[in-house]
Amino acid sequence: MLKNIIIKILSAYTLILAGSNPVLADNINVTFAYIGARDHSALRGVQQGLEEANLQGQFLNQTYKLDIILSDNVLSHDFSPYLAVLTAVDSDTFTELSAALINRPVFNLSIADDKLRVACLKNALHIVPSNKMKQDAIKQWQKQASGTTAKAQAWHPDFVKFAARDLNKRYKKKFNISMDDYSWAGWAAVKMTSDAVARTNITDPTQMLNHIKTALSFDGQKGIDMNFRETGQLRQPLLLIENDKIVAEAPVRGIANITALDSLGILSCEK
Amino acid sequence: MRLYVASLLLSVAVFNTVSAAPTGRIFVTNERSDSISVINSTSLTIEATIEIGKRPRGIGLAPDGSKLYVAVSDENKIKVIDPVSLKILSAFEAGSDPETFAVHPNGNIYISNEDDAKASVFNPKNGEQIAAISVGLEPEGVAISPDGKRVIVTSESTNMLHVIKAPENTIENNILIGARPRAATFTQAGDIAYATAEISGEVFKVDMNTGKILKKASTGDSKSKPKDVILSKDESVLYVAGGRSNQVVVMDAKSLAIIKNIPVGKRVWGLAMSKQGDRLYTTDGVSGTVSVIDTGKNEVMKTIAVGKFPWGVVIDD
């Protein structure tokens, strides 16, 4: 008994000495909220992210849980237990939620509307690409492939580069269905938050929002370090798809530098 | 009779010496040619090409140099090759999608099984699996301390260095580093390890006794996606394969300050250092070449065309 107490005191002391290095602390338990339809593919992505967060968490004494909140009358719900809120809802509901949950990260996993980007809602984190980002990607590709009917997407089940193959494989194995843009967004939202918890031990929603918006270095398995614009939009490369095949990646090589993610979409807030 | 036994023993001894004498060959896996390029390290020319099987990647030598091991990923096997005759001697099942491995001083092979979030230990003499250790997602790089007491397995999607105690094969520590850790290497003393993080474009210097990160540094170029990492013989200089930056980044091993960038072929991943420390060999995947660097000048002295997408490289010296 005494030995256990001494060990506990020593480990607490080690924690203090370790300073900024995250070390095994007391258990950290994180809960996410999901708002949206149960059959929305974004939810499957969230569940995939949760499984991976817990796999990492086992090495760090961290656990991750999810509460699914059904869409009726969501604003009356108590959101205080949640580190972040993950949504697959319509634009109006998203805007209301964002206003109600001030200082708490609210992830947009489904809406491409550019108005939500230029509005620069302080706690909104848009994982899915906006319409303008997709249009810009197609425009870049048209310079090399005139007459193309390609569309732009965040993700594709045939994507294999940069370990996209591994994520597609894990997802398919778990759900027996291919990963789409929404499920990639759900996975990414949980993964970037749990990565941040692992690195910083932050469990306060306001601090987490600040960390994600200013200090993120996220590996979304698309080959490039990702972070957010001031609009709350995740910078990311897109895939150009024609006849359900990947024909190019944007920024399109030769048109824009692959690292020039800001060649896609709106960069700043509405003045 | 006694004379016969003695001569038999003598011939065995001689045979062993002969078989273990270094061939001076450099072996390179060509991921998309399904082959091994064999390079003569004196003439720096291709001596032979071995057809090995589908998608060869990881490559390593037995501690005494008597066997060459190759992970043939799409066949889920490790194949055993005689580095002298260049014949394939045997093969064993090495789990799902075997990629990177390292050979322990005791002869066992530690390998990352990317699809299973596991590291496995095999005895290559009989192909038996000795242990399977749960690690993070997408395990990749494997490094073993020279004394054999510690093994690092990197997990690319969990962003960790998993430190495994050997031969116990239990996890001693899990160290979070930058995004997508790909490769690691130990100092001779084993007290320090260096590791690369591909997506964050960083190199980490880690104290292996405490698990603490001592230093981290960017590899500079925004295109740089660091992969293999190796120390100079005197351990004063660190060489990092810069991936898509198409250069080898030369860093001061103490401060991690960049000393120089050496331009090589496209998408440089694999690195191997000669025993004397005078030559560094790189695999330039997209170019299909091996670059030979004179470490005295830190300049490329020769570029050798090999197969398609050269991946790993080892030197039998």
Give the tens place of pLDDT for each residue, A199-209: 999 999 999 99
- What length is written for chain A? 271
Mean pLDDT value across chain B: 93
Cross-chain Cβ contact A56/B223 below 8 Å: no
Higher per-residue confidence, A182 vs A71 = A182
Could you say which of 3.30.360.10, 3.40.47.10, 3.40.50.300, 3.40.50.2300 is the CATH number of the domain covering A25-263?
A: 3.40.50.2300
* Residue A71 scores a pLDDT above 80: no
Q: What is the pLDDT of residue A25?
A: 54
Mean pLDDT of the region B210-237:
94
Question: Is residue B3 pLDDT above 60, yes or no?
Answer: no
Measured at the alpha carbon of residue B315, what is the angle toward residues B262 and B20, in degrees to the nearest 5?
A: 165
Place of tokens 């501690």: B63
| Nearest in space to A28 (alpha carbons), one of A196, A182, A149, A144 | A196
User: What is the average pLDDT across B166-191?
Assistant: 97
Contacts of A219 in chain B (CB under 8 A): 157, 159, 179-180, 199-200
Q: Is the pLDDT of residue A8 over 80?
A: no
Beta-carbon separation of B179 and A224 below 8 A: no
Mutate to test the interface with B, among A225, A226, A236, A257 (most CBs of B within 10 A): A225
- Report how far apart, in Å, the C-alpha atoms of B299 and of each of B155, B251, B265, B280, B292 are: 32, 14, 13, 10, 8
Name residues whose C-beta falls within 8 Å of residue A19's C-beta, 6 or more positions apart in sequence: none
Worst-scoring range by mean pLDDT, A111-115, A146-150, B297-301? A146-150
The three-class DSSP label of residue B266 is: coil
CB atoms A195 and B159 under 8 Å: yes
Question: Do A219 and B174 make contact, defined as CB atoms within 8 angstroms?
Answer: no
Contact status, residue B250 vs residue B261, Cβ threshold 8 Å: yes
Is the model's pLDDT at B28 over the cut of 80?
yes
Nearest to B138 among A59, A166, A199 (CB): A166
Q: How confident is the model at residue B96 (pLDDT cuts 50, 70, 90)?
A: confident
Contacts of A218 in chain B (CB under 8 A): 179
- pLDDT for residue A14 is more than 70: no
Question: For residue A15, what pLDDT is reported?
Answer: 40
Query: How far is Cα B247 from Cα B316, in angstroms, rounded to an integer?
Result: 25
CB burial readout A175-214, b (16+ within 10 A) else e = eeeebbbbbbbbbbbbbbbbbbbbbeebeebeebbebbbe
The residue-averaged pLDDT of B33-47 equals 98
CA–CA separation, B42 and B36 (whole Å): 18
Contact A52 B174 (CB under 8 A): no
Of the candidates B160, B178, B222, which has its C-beta nearest A59's C-beta? B160
Task: Flag whether pLDDT at A221 surpasses 70.
Answer: yes
User: Given pLDDT bands bounded at 50, 70 and 90, which one contains residue B20?
Assistant: low
Would you state the pLDDT for residue B22? 95
Distances (CA, A) of A1 to A5, A7, A8, A15: 6, 10, 11, 21
Q: Give B-chain residues touching A161 at CB under 8 angstroms.
A: none
Other CB atoms within a 10 A radius of the CB of residue A10 amount to: 10
Buried b (16+ CB within 10 A) or exposed e, A232-248: bbbbbbbbbbeeeebeb
Q: Which has the minimum average pLDDT: B159-163, B167-171, B217-221, B249-253?
A: B217-221
Query: Does the pLDDT value for residue B267 go beyond 60?
Result: yes
